[in-house]
Amino acid sequence: MATSASSLTIASSFSEPRTQIHSSKRSNLTLCSVPYKAGSRSRNRRLGLVVSSVTAPNVELRTGPDDLISSLLTKVANSDGGVTLSPEQHKEVAQVARELQKYCVSEPVKCPLIFGDWDVVYCSRPTSPGGGYRSVIGRLFFRTKEMIQGIDSPDIVRNRVSFTALGFLDGDVSLTGKLKVLDSEWVQVIFEPPELKVGSLEFKYGFESEVKLRITYIDEKLRLGLGSRGSLFVFRRRQ
């Protein structure tokens, strides 16, 4: 991942599926029954004991991927890509993401669902998507409107952050990169220098940048990515 302040570091990946995971929305319940022995009441009475209550059986609710996805999207909703979340809320997002990871297809880099346009709805490090434009100071001048990643077959990645500058100028910063598979889960993307558009101005600046990312979950609606430096990304497919 490049250190350029203006670079977009948005988790990416691509592929064709080898395994399809089908989940049921019905929850599995495991009930722990309370054993009963004949004659125990009479023995308790002889001991002067009165059984006044019965302990309810323990219920373990096993959550499926649909429930986890719903929970994850609820937690990151209206958070400006994670900016407004507290440290405790970031931990909750990470916990749900780890659970969802268990339902990922094998070799996710080969899953064709990766292609298409995705909204970046969350990042555990706010400056990872958008660089300096998303920093504490940058957000004073640039109000983020959208963060989008497009992945085109066979190996093109397009990252774009659109914003309003100074409250009245529309603009965006974008990157185009070449994608390379490293193994069954990891990919590398080498980006060209970023292109900045503000009002009628349009120009390229800076240098090439590079990111390495791991795909930890992918389906028709949601994708999770983990950057080489530990940043968690949540992508939702654009309608």
What is the DSSP code string of 175-207? EEEEEEE-SSSEEEEEEPPPEEEETTEEEE-S-
How confident is the model at residue 166, as a pLDDT? Answer: 86
How confident is the model at residue 42, as a pLDDT? Answer: 44
CA 40/CA 114 separation, integer angstroms: 61
Assigned domain for 48 exists: no
CATH number at residue 176: 2.40.128.280
Tens of pLDDT, residue by residue over 11-27, are 333 333 333 333 333 33
Mean pLDDT of 83-108: 97
How confident is the model at residue 146, as a pLDDT? Answer: 95
State the Cα torsion 104-110-111-117 to the nearest 10°: 110
End-to-end CA distance of the chain: 29
Assigned domain for 26 exists: no
Assigned domain for 98 exists: yes
Assigned domain for 39 exists: no
CA 63/CA 26 separation, integer angstroms: 9
Average pLDDT of the chain is 79
Assigned domain for 97 exists: yes
From start to end of 86-141, where are the E strands? 116-123
What does the angle CA 22 – CA 99 – CA 80 come to, to the nearest 5 degrees? Answer: 105
**How would residue 190 be classed by pLDDT, with cut points 50, 70 and 90?**
very high
CA 83/CA 161 separation, integer angstroms: 15
**How would residue 46 be classed by pLDDT, with cut points 50, 70 and 90?**
very low
Assigned domain for 213 exists: yes
Assigned domain for 53 exists: no
The amino acid at residue 113 is: L
Task: For the chain, give the percent of residues with pLDDT over 90.
Answer: 63
Q: Regarding predicted confidence, which is higher, 54 or 170? A: 170
Domain count, the chain: 1
Sort 79 into a burial class: Cβ within 10 Å, 0-12 / 13-18 / 19+. middle
How confident is the model at residue 181, as a pLDDT? Answer: 96
Assigned domain for 108 exists: yes
Domain coverage including residue 122: 65-237
* Cβ within 8 Å of residue 84, ≥6 positions away: 78
